[in-house]
Amino acid sequence: MDKVLIIGASGHAKVIIETIELGGDYQIHGLIDTYKPKGEKLLDYEILGTEHDIPDFVSKGINKGIIAIGDNWTRFLMQSRIKEVSPDFEFVTVIHPSAIISPSVRIGVGTIILASVTINAEARIGNFCILNTDANFDHDSTIQDFSSLAPGVTVGGNVSIGRCTAISLGANVIQGITIGRHSIVGAGSLILHDVADFSLVYGVPAKEIRSIKEGESYLSKS
Ligand SMILES: CC(C)(COP(=O)(O)OP(=O)(O)OC[C@H]1O[C@@H](n2cnc3c(N)ncnc32)[C@H](O)[C@@H]1OP(=O)(O)O)[C@@H](O)C(=O)NCCC(=O)NCCS
């Protein structure tokens, strides 16, 4: 079994750790975190250093891992930093054994598909995405790199979601909608119309609330 590093040591990382343990495809070597002290533990695994220590691990043959950071922009920044210090580091894809995924679906590297997710025919999932617990992603829909579906999100068929966009807890998106990049759909929203790039929308039905900046936080209460 290949050894993997888990990058990020938050609550989201606990979910990823347990998903990898259940899947049985990889052996977890330890955690990497920018801020938490070396030696601290999360579940049964130790924090071994920061992203700047990754080249040392690669030189010892531990050259694979997954970024377990829930915030889309922070995950993007971490991926960029790792690419800089260790261009040969490989990102794995983590899929919970209970996920139901059509054989015609394509899923990128560094992406995480959690428990009870359903992905239907010919959907396309980019790199470094998160499809969180119980999300449903219907046929022919696409989600670009660094975007996320929070737990309980339902996305209809032929929907297009741009890069670095967050669809929050329990939102519903009807079929055929286009949602731009760097946007945030608030928890519990019902999306009946296209969503522009860089916008915050929420409500039932959802309305545009304001425009947002690249990297604006949407998980600050976690
Ligand atoms: C979109 C979101 C980031 C907005 O948060 P926010 O900007 O901090 O909003 P605030 O809490 O300051 O609320 C401002 C107002 O908007 C309302 N509001 C905020 N989010 C709302 C939502 N999703 N739907 C309807 N109204 C909402 C609040 O009730 C409040 O109204 P009030 O001023 O009359 O009291 C937040 O609703 C959200 O969805 N967070 C992500 C949750 C999530 O998916 N977590 C993932 C866990 S894995």
Question: How much distance in Å is there from the Cα of 187 to the middle of ligand 1?
Answer: 7
User: Which tokens is 169 given?
Assistant: 């807890």
How much distance in Å is there from the Cα of 118 to the middle of ligand 1? 26
Q: Which fold has domain 94-211?
A: UDP N-Acetylglucosamine Acyltransferase; domain 1 (2.160.10)
pLDDT tens, 66-79?
Answer: 999 999 999 999 99
pLDDT at 221 over 70: no
Average pLDDT over residues 45-57: 97
Residue 172 Cα to ligand 1 midpoint, Å, equals 16
Same fold yes or no, 2-91 and 94-211: no
2: confidence class by pLDDT, cuts 50, 70, 90: very high
Distance from the alpha carbon of residue 212 to the mean position of ligand 1, in angstroms = 14
* Residue 212 near ligand 1, beta carbon < 6 Å: no
Q: How far, in whole angstroms, is CA 109 from its chain's centroid? A: 11
Average pLDDT over residues 27-53: 97
- Please, which contacts does 141-146 make with residues 24 or more away whose CB atoms are closer than 8 Å? 144/181, 145/108, 146/72, 146/73, 146/75, 146/76, 146/79
Residue nearest ligand 1's atom 42 by CA: 168
| Residue 201: both structure tokens together | 């929308």
* Residue nearest atom 29 in ligand 1 by C-alpha distance: 203
220: pLDDT confidence band, cut at 50, 70 and 90?
Answer: confident
Is 202 touching ligand 1 by the criterion CB < 6 Å? yes
pLDDT band at 196 (very low <50, low <70, confident <90, very high): very high
Dihedrals φ, ψ of 97, to 5°? -60, -20
Fold of 2-91: Rossmann fold (3.40.50)
Residues with active-site annotation = 139
How many residues belong to the chain?
Answer: 222
Domain ranges, ordered by start, for the chain: 2-91, 94-211
CA torsion through residues 48, 52, 57, 60, sign: negative
pTM over 0.95: yes
Per-residue pLDDT of 68-119, as tens digits, reads: 999 999 999 999 999 999 999 999 999 999 999 999 999 999 999 999 999 9
Residue closest via CA to ligand 1's atom 20 equals: 186
